[in-house]
Amino acid sequence: MTSRAEQIAPRRIGIRRPGDAWLALLGILVFWGLSAWIYQLTQGLIATGMRDVVSWGLYIFTFAFFVGLSAGGLIVASGAEVFGVRALKPLSRLGVMTAAACVLVAAMTIIPDLGNPQRVWELFRYPNWSSPLIWDILIIIVYFVFAVTDLAVMVRRGTEPSVRARRLRMLAYAGLPAAVTLHSITAWIFGLQISRPWWNTALMAPLFVTSAILSGAALVTLVALAAQRFDRFELQPETRNALCGLMAAAIAVDLFLVASDYITILWGNVPRERAALDIILPGGSWQWLFWLEWIVGGLVPFVLLVVPRFRVRPPLVAAASLLVMVGVYAFRIELVVGGMLRPLLHFAPGNAIGSYTLGAASFQYDGIYHPTWVEYAIITALFAFLGVLITLGYRRLRAIGERE
């Protein structure tokens, strides 16, 4: 007769093998991205698709996306404590852990965009305090330290339950405005640029905060559902329903704000503002972003999240969460591309594109942007590294939970 330990051992081995294969795959992608970054360092930013007209590209809208994921994760965790949403409390550790991982990767995303990593030091040596960029860097650092501290308090052993609860509540009240501030400052990097069409709007900060709640809740849901599918994590029905309700409400508010921005631009009909929006709307050269945001990442997941017979099925909730993140990412692309491709000012004989090809014009009125394999490889590596951090972080949280 076999012992209880011998009966359990094979199951644990079976659980770890898929996880180890998953980490190995992510490691390969990270190595590929590092190779691409080394190539970019040797060639310069000419290895990317960015030029004089379109100086922000894949790196920047991915940075904004990661910041949103991190802010949303902490909002979910802090909101459970501040507003007393008991159904979300089991996900507090998971939310803070994903927040810390995402903000770390967000900071790393800036490095390849600078071209020369030594320029990071210059941001601190010669700070421009009138620019929201330096404030965004500072809030990212503060936010990361705060998330790590919050997580350390959650998992610290030997603390009286009442003392821990009081400390967590204090941190939650500080974490909620910190998360909102983080994504608001990131939004103001765009919203305070009066030289770019479509960006200079007071709706930018509310849009970013709402999409952060949406994408952050979607990420926490995906991680929880994956842990339930491949491990012993239990996602209770009331917790899943609370996440579905939060995401559905955030989708509605997010699309309302985007629609309000569309209507304002269309009604005003300012030529350059309208030109930036037209490339996104149906019939434009980048219309696929519209369909991704409104249909694939908006209407479809909204239906999956509000229809009772859909929201009780974990695979459909996971699909909705993934589509939500696709929609939010599409909005980030839409924002950067729309503002960059149609600059407000033209200089005769046009705007320099930063390169010259025999027989082709070196000046143009509108920008052209197509990411290169280098950008795709580096961004893929950053997503893979985020997967590594979340996977290892979950394993660590699980081990701590088993000892408690």
Regions of the chain short of the pLDDT cut 70: 1-18, 158-159, 345-348, 350, 354, 356, 402-404
Domain limits of the chain?
21-403
The structural architecture, per CATH, of the domain 21-403 is Up-down Bundle (1.20)
Residues with Cβ within 8 Å of residue 62, at least 6 apart in sequence: 109, 329, 332, 379, 382
Render pLDDT for 289-343 as a digit per residue (tens, 0 to 9). Answer: 999 999 999 999 999 999 999 989 999 999 999 999 999 999 999 888 888 887 7
Q: What is the pLDDT of residue 87?
A: 84
**Predicted TM-score of the model (pTM):** 0.88
Tell me the three-class secondary structure of the chain, residue by residue: CCCHHHHHHHHHHHHHHHHHHHHHHHHHHHHHHHHHHHHHHHHCHHHCCCCCCCCCCHHHHHHHHHHHHHHHHHHHHHHHHHCCCHHHHHHHHHHHHHHHHHHHHHHHHHHHHHCCCCHHHHHHHCCCCCCHHHHHHHHHHHHHHHHHHHHHHHHCCCCCHHHHHHHHHHHHHHHHHHHHHHHHHHHHHHHCCCCCCCCCCCCHHHHHHHHHHHHHHHHHHHHHHHHHHHCCCCCCHHHHHHHHHHHHHHHHHHHHHHHHHHHHHHHHCCHHHHHHHHCCCCCCCCCHHHHHHHHHHHHHHHHHHHCHHHHCCHHHHHHHHHHHHHHHHHHHHHHHHHHHHCCCCCCCCCEECCCCCCCCCCEECCCCCCCCHHHHHHHHHHHHHHHHHHHHHHHHHHHHHHHC
pLDDT given at position 58: 94
